[in-house]
Amino acid sequence: MEIETIDLGKGSALGVRIPLGKAPLLVILAKRGYLMCGYLNVEAAEKLGDAAAVVRGVRTFDDMLSARVEETTSAAEALGVERGMRGREALERML
């Protein structure tokens, strides 16, 4: 498992990488929500009331920051996170 501090300019987030099978499980945690890879379930995050956004096809934290958000929870949308925005921008809205 790898844990890394990720600088977002206006603050920082915590990246967690867990190597699994053929691709890693990736999550970047901000103060008010998180960005997750496709391994994780947005429906579960929605049920729990979490502010979460999903990016897919990523293997590194840098990939996550530049990938476009494909799914969001309603709590993330309330923070201004939208589908199509870059992961970095989504995280900045969750700081």
Domain containing residue 81: 2-93
Mapped onto helix, strand or coil, the DSSP state of residue 47 is helix
Rounded to whole angstroms, how far apart are CA atoms 18 and 3? 9
* % of the chain exceeding 90 in pLDDT: 97
- Read off the CATH number of the domain in which 60 is found: 3.30.1980.10
Q: What is the pLDDT of residue 22?
A: 92
Question: pLDDT value at position 46?
Answer: 98
Number of domains in the chain: 1
**Cβ–Cβ < 8 Å for 81, 93:** yes
Angle 56-59-62 from CA coordinates, rounded to 5°: 95
pTM for this one?
0.96
